[in-house]
Amino acid sequence: MRVGVTTFTPLSPASNTSTVKSTAFSPVDYVVFTLLLVLSLAIGLYHACRGWGRHTIGQLQMADRKMGCLPVALSLLATFQSAVAILGVPSEIYRFGTQYWFLGCSYFLGLLIPAHIFIPVFYRLHLTSAYEYLELRFNKTVRVCGTITFIFQMVIYMGVVLYAPSLALNAVTGFDIWLSVLTLGIVCTVYTALGGLKAVIWTDVFQTLVMFLGQLAVIIGLVMFTYYKEYPMSTQQSEAAPDQFVLYFVMDLLRGLPGLPGLFVACLFSGSLSTISSAFNSLATVTMEDLVRPWFPRFSEARATMLSRILACSYGLLCLGMAYISSQMGPVLQAAISIFGMVGGPLLGLFCLGMFFPCANPPGAVVGLLAGLIMAFWIGIGSVVTRMGSGTAPLPLNGSHFSLPSNLSTIAMTTLMPSTTLSRPTGLQRLYSLSYLWYSAHNSTTVIVVGLLVSLLTGGMRGRTLNPRTIYPVVPRLLALLPVSCQKRLRCKSHSQGLFGDTTVLPEKMSNGMLKGIRDKEAVAEPVKGPLHPGSSPTFIVQETSL
């Protein structure tokens, strides 16, 4: 006697009989998708043509620092919500489970810490490029090393961002993947190079509105798991790249509603366009400010503007080439986080070393950065070579085809389905098996530890000038949280007793972080000569937490 599940099996929307139908765009879908590209290009060209010939380098790179809060906030939102997240996170949730939810905790801290610690320091110094800070804190060599590392990171990451939506579009429409990469890259490069930061911000605002019409990535992952438990994927879909799962799901679910699949693909491309355009503008800006202007300080305004546009175009072409390399890097989410961990982690460690440790010196910063990068690529490349991967959550069984003999015992079942014991990694494999989510923390810690050791061995800041405005006062900030009585016992000034006190060292306007009485950033960046006296130590400097 056999006991089986009900014999009724609903027709899978992804079955072979409907594969062609489910992966075809309707004319309305193509119209929606094309409108996104056309309107994005039109917004960029409008700001490029408006005032053509009168653009300055400040307008092109910084929008004259006159953009409002709302468009800048929407631009930041669109920039950080890339197609990598929209495609990669649902796939990660579907394959590995909901552990990715815990990443939200780090996002919460990851936004508060820069807003209250790093950005106030940069803003008070009136910096155009964040890497100018490294020269003020250390020297020009450290600044150049940091800039080159950032450029390397962003060029590789932009290749992933270019490749991700093109891969998805190819999966559901058959549209040539490299033609899609080329179209996306050219559109973004044109309006970024010609329109500058103002065009980037207003285009991002439009793309944010499009992206709001998409769905939350983690919720989509859970819905995908439930949907394909009831209607299993076809063989063709299950063998596809993990980053194509989301598009297959959308086409299966919305194929009877013309325009909605096209809207979702437009959402993906909005995520890519917003991220890529901001990156191109950033790359052109840091190259001009950190690599060109220090060596050619007398560049005319017209030449600087033209060179900035040429740099944006050049980075666009370079990222098109990187898109091909990205196709060999595995799932887009893992590739993106690995890149930020392997290259961005050491950069984070470098800034933390300079901002929180007054004893850190230039040799320690350079050696620490190199040690962090070497460690990062050693682990990253070793992980790829040894193919150490974490286990995947099992896909749901198709219960309609599963039956068991009624008299099958537990012992017999154990015999038929023997358990497999996974061997623990040993030796270097334990290092290579480190999760890519830990790359950033591991590599930034390496930079700080090595940098401090080298700094202490080379005498610290003895004999060197230290600009107190480049140091964040960690201890006074922590002590300010204590009651006033405890602060008096510890012989510390309270927050209201003079942390704002000595304006000779910090002459900036205290109300909103804007400069007052200082004509240029060199005056702001002028270091304190000689040894620091108790009255001028960096421990009493207050950083703005509200910009």
**Residue found under tokens 């922590």:** 478
* CA neighbor of 52 nearest in space, from 198, 188, 204, 205: 198
Q: Tell me the C-alpha to C-alpha distance, in Å, between residue 93 and each of 231, 239, 414, 515.
A: 18, 18, 30, 47
Per-residue pLDDT of the chain (547 residues; tens, 9 = 90+): 444 433 333 334 444 434 444 456 677 777 877 887 787 778 777 777 776 666 666 666 666 666 777 777 777 776 666 667 777 777 777 777 777 777 777 777 777 888 888 888 888 888 877 888 998 999 889 999 998 998 888 888 887 777 777 777 776 667 777 787 887 778 777 777 776 777 777 776 766 666 665 444 445 555 665 666 666 666 666 655 565 666 667 666 666 666 667 777 777 777 777 777 777 777 888 888 888 887 887 777 778 878 888 888 888 888 777 777 776 666 666 677 777 788 888 999 999 999 999 889 999 999 999 999 999 888 887 777 776 444 444 444 344 444 444 454 444 444 444 555 556 666 677 777 787 778 888 999 999 999 999 999 998 888 888 888 888 887 777 777 777 777 666 554 444 344 333 433 344 433 333 344 444 444 444 544 444 443 333 333 333 333 3
What is the pLDDT at residue 183? 79
What is the pLDDT at residue 368? 94
| Angle value at C-alpha 19, between 36 and 10, nearest 5 degrees | 115
What is the pLDDT at residue 59? 63
**Residue found under tokens 């044109």:** 190
* CA neighbor of 238 nearest in space, from 7, 15, 9: 15
Q: Tell me the C-alpha to C-alpha distance, in Å, between residue 461 and each of 330, 357, 452.
A: 44, 10, 11
Quick one: DSSP state of residue 115? Answer: I
Structurally, what CATH architecture does the domain formed by 24-325 represent? Up-down Bundle (1.20)
CA distance 251 to 13: 9
Asked if 191 and 203 count as a contact pair (C-beta separation under 8 A), the reply is yes
* CA neighbor of 61 nearest in space, from 243, 274, 312, 239: 312
Contacts of 512 (CB under 8 A, 6+ apart): 544, 546, 547
H or E element, residue 207: helix 177-212
Q: Enter the tokens of residue 57.
A: 């380098």
CA distance 460 to 453: 9
CA-based max dimension of the chain: 93
Pinpoint the residues of the chain covered by CATH 1.20.1730.10. 24-325
**Residue found under tokens 């405005």:** 469
Q: What is the dihedral of CA 171, 175, 177, 182, to 10 degrees?
A: -150
Asked if 362 and 141 count as a contact pair (C-beta separation under 8 A), the reply is yes
Q: Is 4 helix (H, G, I), strand (E, B) or coil?
A: strand
Q: What is the dihedral of CA 341, 346, 349, 350, to 10 degrees?
A: -150
What is the pLDDT at residue 22? 45
Per-residue burial over 192-220, b = 16 or more CB atoms within 10 Å of its CB, e = otherwise: bbbbbbbbbbbbbbbbbebbeebeebbeb
Q: Which amino acid is at 530?
A: G
Q: What is the dihedral of CA 60, 64, 68, 73, to 10 degrees?
A: 50
Per-residue burial over 78-87, b = 16 or more CB atoms within 10 Å of its CB, e = otherwise: bbebbbbbbb
Contacts of 209 (CB under 8 A, 6+ apart): none
CA distance 346 to 376: 8
Which residues make beta-bridge pairs with 518?
none
CA distance 175 to 34: 13
Helices 332-339 and 83-96 meet at what angle, rounded to 10? 110
What is the pLDDT at residue 224? 60
Which runs of consecutive H residues, i.e. helices, occur in 421-545?
A: 428-432, 439-457, 474-479, 484-489, 521-525
Asked if 266 and 36 count as a contact pair (C-beta separation under 8 A), the reply is yes
